[in-house]
Amino acid sequence: MKFGGTSVGSVTSILSVKQIVESATEPVIVVVSALGGITDKLIHASEVAASGDASYEKEYRDIVNRHIEMVYTVIPAGEARAALLDQVNELLSELKDIFQGIHLIKDLSPKTSATIVSYGERLSSIIVATLIQDAVWYDSRQFIKTEKKHDKHILDSELTHRLVVETFGELPKVALVPGFIATDKHSGEVTNLGRGGSDYTASVIAAALNADSLEIWTDVDGFMTADPRVISTAYTINELSYVEAMELCNFGAKVVYPPTIYPVCHKNIPIRIRNTFNPEGAGTVIQQEVDCGSKAIKGISSINDTSLITVTGLGMVGVIGVNYRIFQALAQNGISVFMVSQASSENSTSIGVRNQDAALACEVLNEEFSKEIQMGEISPVSAEMNLATVAIVGENMKHTPGIAGKLFGTLGRNGISVIACAQGASETNISFVVEAKSLRKSLNVIHDSFFLSEYQVLNLFISGTGTVGGSLIEQIRNQQQKLMSERGLKLNVVGIANGHRALFDREGIDLTNYRERLEEQGIPSSPQVLHDEIVGMNIFNSVFVDCTASAEVAGLYKSLLDHSISVVAANKIAASSAYANYLELKQTALKRSVKFLFETNVGAGLPIINTINDLINSGDKILKIEAVLSGTLNYIFNKISAEVPFSQTIHLAQEERYSEPDPRIDLSGKDVIRKLVILAREAGYCLEQEDVEKHLFVPNDFFDGPLDAFWQKVPSLDADFEARRQKLESEGKRWRFVAKLENGQGSVALQEVDSKHPFYGLEGSNNIILLTTERYKEYPMMIQGYGAGASVTAAGVFADIMSIANI
């Protein structure tokens, strides 16, 4: 049984260790790490001391306090405690002397460093040995032996095996062994098995003694599908084969130190990963034969410390021995290569190494190929640094077509570019290199697409919390549960912003009290802040939802689309801006395989744009559009009467929240023109706002100056309107503000329609649109219904969001 740093890090956990060990019914060997965090502290304090900085003393005192407090809290007063305290104090005072020494001479050799870190396990092991009943302490420095190769201390397996067998010829009920530490087989000086090495100590002992099982007790429920610190939805894997576990550990799944697997695998001893904080949990079992399960892959792991070195040149093609020389040169210099990718054209070989090895690797390779470089056959070798490597692992991948397709398709749709990739013919691992800044996103999208296929996640950033935005958030809140259970879709609102505040939370914002959270925890908001946060969060499957009327916010779309973020806009500004801009946005979306949707720009929730798209995509041609597209204006012309003068109707439209925040946008025809322009463009015509002919009903000079002045002036139009209205009434006609597109020409005008006209009966704030097409010629297609209002607009935005989820 191996207990890691967190298992012996706190009073509760160490008492749990005692209980777990004491309830074992057969003899156990217990291997312990240093108290959680102590190894880091020892290393840090020694570096501080070696730099001549006396503040190492504070670190040292922390180390002393942690251990002394632990002894006083977990060991009852008495002889045993006194004896333990003597031992602990002696070790701590040795440690103090060593620190003082390096502080004085300002030098820290690897040898001294190894001695210092060994105190962590030496201290923890004697504390646990005293705590656990009948435990016998063993000194692992006597039987875990290393030798030096390429400046590294490597386990001497044979010698260690023999010594372990000799040492444990007779087993006590509980043997207590410090993990990690070792000694050099020749000099006897203290060494260790590398960071995280206690797992390896335990494995080596288990293998030498043919243990029934190796239990690794840690602080998570087992081996998980991905690093739980990065992927909150990662879950415990019940069973893994040795090969799978090896592939995952080697690629950074920190839960097991990579060399741990081999010794026990060789002896077919199962490894169980268990949680000290949840001893009842089943944990993970790693063994030879496992149930493969139904998922294509078992786990994902990654290392973000990656440099890619590429040896390339036309002179390499067909030449035998280039790879031999690459790997020989690297090996001779002790550089470990963890990934290799070579194109079948043979003109480039890419090698993944750790960042710290990159400079030396380049130097060595430039030297090895200096002649070829001089002749121009091979390019000078350089390293691309700060990358990350991700591996997906699972034996089920063997002979299953489509896994690589799914993997790379998912990455591509999320704008993640793969720099290099490798899959061995064993087909249990596909590895690829991405920029380090895309690592989190890569892990998330892959985890989502391979493991969470029960439900899909769409991450939403909602800008604007006014009438439409507020209503949308409410609708999402009401639907979230149902979409999750019935549609397998999780709508995760990860950002909400209004003009003042912005709130971001990659875990998802609770929509019941978002207004309070926005006020209390939100950061000051601006379009730039929004942009930077959203791009910076680099979250997968994300959608920016614009429920503002802001030109600045609309100005963000291009960059967001470029970052593979879909855009759903209730805001009409972008789609009606200069044609070139509209086109660029559409093309960017296409290029990045994301969506730019704005159905609610025209007719609120009515399916107008989608209908036009469907007609065009199926080969129809739009010949003419006639429409009443302004809910506000229709409301005004329906409302106007002998009792309600023109100016009053504008106030009413605003109170009913039909009008734009500034009603002049509606009265000047601007809103209708924007809508007509959008429809024309979707119908395949290149139309600009300036091209639209206008016949307005409010004099132009009413639109200049401040809004207040407008409100003051507008009643002056009432008398004239009333006179015209009476005439119109006597003729049995009504006013409709009609937008028209014919032969590619756009116009808007106040039109008088008689009772036979299809627009005559259009009530309230409704919209109507007549589409005359090649197929719908004699009887145009008609779409009619609510053309304004927060809830129908929000519903239309929601529908756009849903159509992205359906891709």
Q: Mind telling me the catalytic residues?
A: 675
Binds 120: which of ligand ADP, Mg ion, ligand ASP, none (CB < 5-8 Å by kind):
ligand ASP
Q: Which of 179, 222, 299, 645 binds ligand ASP (CB under 6 A)?
A: 179
Q: How far is the CB of 283 from ligand ASP (least distance, A)?
A: 18
**Which among 46, 232, 59, 199 has a CA at the least distance from the CA of 121?**
199
Q: Which is nearer to ligand ADP, 392 or 476 (CB)?
A: 392
The DSSP output letter for 568 is: E
Q: Based on the shown chain and the rule CB under 5 A, indicate whether residue 270 belongs to the binding site for Mg ion.
A: no
Q: Which is nearer to ligand ADP, 4 or 527 (CB)?
A: 4
Binds 493: which of ligand ASP, Mg ion, ligand ADP, none (CB < 5-8 Å by kind):
none
Q: Which is nearer to ligand ADP, 245 or 397 (CB)?
A: 245
Binds 180: which of Mg ion, ligand ADP, ligand ASP, none (CB < 5-8 Å by kind):
ligand ASP
**Structure tokens, 471:** 């209503």
Q: Based on the shown chain and the rule CB under 6 A, indicate whether residue 634 belongs to the binding site for ligand ASP.
A: no
Q: Which is nearer to ligand ADP, 229 or 399 (CB)?
A: 229
CB 748 within 8 A of CB 738: yes
Site residues for Mg ion, window 173-202 (CB under 5 A)?
196
Q: Give the burial class of 726: count Cβ atoms within 10 A of its Cβ; 0-12 exposed, 13-18 middle, 19 or more buried.
A: exposed
Binds 229: which of ligand ADP, ligand ASP, Mg ion, none (CB < 5-8 Å by kind):
ligand ADP
Instruction: Return the exposure string of 26-46: e unless at least 16 CB atoms fall within 10 Å of the residue's CB, then b.
Output: eebbbbbbbbbebbebbbebb
Report the C-alpha gap between 283 and 199 in whole angstroms. 16
Binds 527: which of ligand ADP, Mg ion, ligand ASP, none (CB < 5-8 Å by kind):
none
Binding segment for ligand ASP (CB under 6 A), chosen from 190-198, 270-278, 348-356, 574-582, is: 190-198
Q: Which secondary-structure segment (H or E) carries 664?
A: helix 664-667
**CA-derived radius of gyration, the chain:** 36
Q: How far is the CB of 235 from ligand ADP (least distance, A)?
A: 10
Site residues for ligand ASP, window 199-218 (CB under 6 A)?
199
What are 354-359's contacts with CB under 8 Å, separation 24+? 354/305, 354/306, 354/307, 355/305, 355/306, 355/307, 355/385, 355/386, 356/305, 357/307, 358/307, 358/309, 358/383, 358/385, 359/383
Binds 227: which of Mg ion, ligand ASP, ligand ADP, none (CB < 5-8 Å by kind):
ligand ADP
Binding segment for Mg ion (CB under 5 A), chosen from 3-11, 92-100, 384-392, 527-535, is: 3-11
CB 354 within 8 A of CB 305: yes
Q: How many CB atoms are closer than 10 A to CB 86?
A: 10
Binds 671: which of ligand ASP, Mg ion, ligand ADP, none (CB < 5-8 Å by kind):
none
CA–CA distance from 302 to each of 14, 245, 383, 715 (Å)? Answer: 31, 13, 19, 69
Binds 786: which of ligand ASP, Mg ion, ligand ADP, none (CB < 5-8 Å by kind):
none
Q: Which of 119, 180, 369, 735 binds ligand ASP (CB under 6 A)?
A: 180
CA–CA distance from 452 to each of 222, 296, 485, 565 (Å)? Answer: 19, 12, 13, 21
Residues that bind ligand ADP (CB under 6 A): 4-7, 33, 196, 218-220, 223-224, 226-229, 253-255, 299
Binds 6: which of ligand ASP, Mg ion, ligand ADP, none (CB < 5-8 Å by kind):
ligand ADP
Q: How far is the CB of 197 from Mg ion (least distance, A)?
A: 8
Q: Which residue number has the CB closest to ligand ADP?
A: 4
Report the C-alpha gap between 709 and 713 in whole angstroms. 6
Site residues for ligand ASP, window 684-713 (CB under 6 A)?
none
Q: How far is the CB of 409 from ligand ASP (least distance, A)?
A: 39
Q: Based on the shown chain and the rule CB under 6 A, indicate whether residue 196 belongs to the binding site for ligand ASP.
A: yes
Q: How far is the CB of 322 from Mg ion (least distance, A)?
A: 39
Question: Residue 63, SS3?
Answer: helix
Site residues for ligand ASP, window 113-132 (CB under 6 A)?
120
Q: Which is nearer to ligand ADP, 290 or 573 (CB)?
A: 290
Q: How many CB atoms are closer than 10 A to CB 190?
A: 22
Q: Based on the shown chain and the rule CB under 6 A, indicate whether residue 258 belongs to the binding site for ligand ASP.
A: no
Q: Which is nearer to ligand ASP, 179 or 415 (CB)?
A: 179
Report the C-alpha gap between 69 and 123 in whole angstroms. 13
**Structure tokens, 803:** 């159509």
Q: How many CB atoms are closer than 10 A to CB 80?
A: 12
Those residues whose C-beta lies under 8 Å from the C-beta of residue 235, and which sit 6 or more positions away, are: 224, 225, 451
Q: How far is the CB of 30 from ligand ASP (least distance, A)?
A: 14
Q: How far is the CB of 159 from ligand ADP (least distance, A)?
A: 26
Q: At what angle do helices 790-805 and 467-482 cross, to 10 degrees?
A: 50
Q: Which is nearer to ligand ADP, 254 or 325 (CB)?
A: 254
Instruction: Count interface residues toward ligand ASP (CB under 6 A).
Output: 13
Q: Which amino acid is at 766?
A: N
Binding segment for ligand ASP (CB under 6 A), chosen from 133-141, 197-205, 291-299, 571-579, is: 197-205
Report the C-alpha gap between 229 and 233 in whole angstroms. 10
Q: Which of 21, 30, 34, 489 binds ligand ASP (CB under 6 A)?
A: 34
CB 7 within 8 A of CB 274: no
Q: Which of 112, 118, 191, 198 binds ligand ASP (CB under 6 A)?
A: 198
Q: How far is the CB of 391 from Mg ion (least distance, A)?
A: 19
Q: Based on the shown chain and the rule CB under 6 A, indicate whether residue 39 belongs to the binding site for ligand ASP.
A: yes
Binds 219: which of ligand ASP, Mg ion, ligand ADP, none (CB < 5-8 Å by kind):
ligand ADP
Q: Based on the shown chain and the rule CB under 6 A, indicate whether residue 352 belongs to the binding site for ligand ASP.
A: no
DSSP 261-280: HHHHHHTT--EEEEETT-TT
**Structure tokens, 463:** 């800008």
Q: How far is the CB of 370 from ligand ASP (least distance, A)?
A: 40
Q: Which is nearer to ligand ASP, 197 or 796 (CB)?
A: 197
Q: Which is nearer to ligand ASP, 180 or 450 (CB)?
A: 180
Q: Which is nearer to ligand ASP, 117 or 629 (CB)?
A: 117
Q: Count how many residues are written for the chain.
A: 807
Q: Which amino acid is at 328?
A: Q
CA–CA distance from 440 to each of 401, 436, 446 (Å)? Answer: 26, 8, 10
Angle at alpha carbon of residue 268, lines to 267 and 274, rounded to 5° = 115
Q: Which amino acid is at 631?
A: G
Report the C-alpha gap between 105 and 50 in whole angstroms. 7
3-state secondary structure 502-551: EEECCCCCCCCCHHHHHHHHCEECCHHHHHHHHHHHCCCCEEEEECCCCH
Q: How far is the CB of 199 from ligand ASP (least distance, A)?
A: 6
Binds 448: which of Mg ion, ligand ASP, ligand ADP, none (CB < 5-8 Å by kind):
none
Q: How far is the CB of 92 from Mg ion (least distance, A)?
A: 24
Q: Which is nearer to ligand ADP, 33 or 600 (CB)?
A: 33
Q: Which is nearer to Mg ion, 196 or 605 (CB)?
A: 196
Report the C-alpha gap between 337 and 351 in whole angstroms. 7
**Torsion on CA atoms 510, 516, 517, 520, rounded to nearest 10:** -170
**Structure tokens, 342:** 């070579």
Q: Which is nearer to ligand ASP, 197 or 605 (CB)?
A: 197
Q: How many CB atoms are closer than 10 A to CB 280?
A: 7
Q: Based on the shown chain and the rule CB under 6 A, indicate whether residue 522 belongs to the binding site for ligand ASP.
A: no
Interface residue list for Mg ion (CB under 5 A):
4, 196
Interface residue list for ligand ASP (CB under 6 A):
4-5, 33-34, 39, 120, 179-180, 195-199
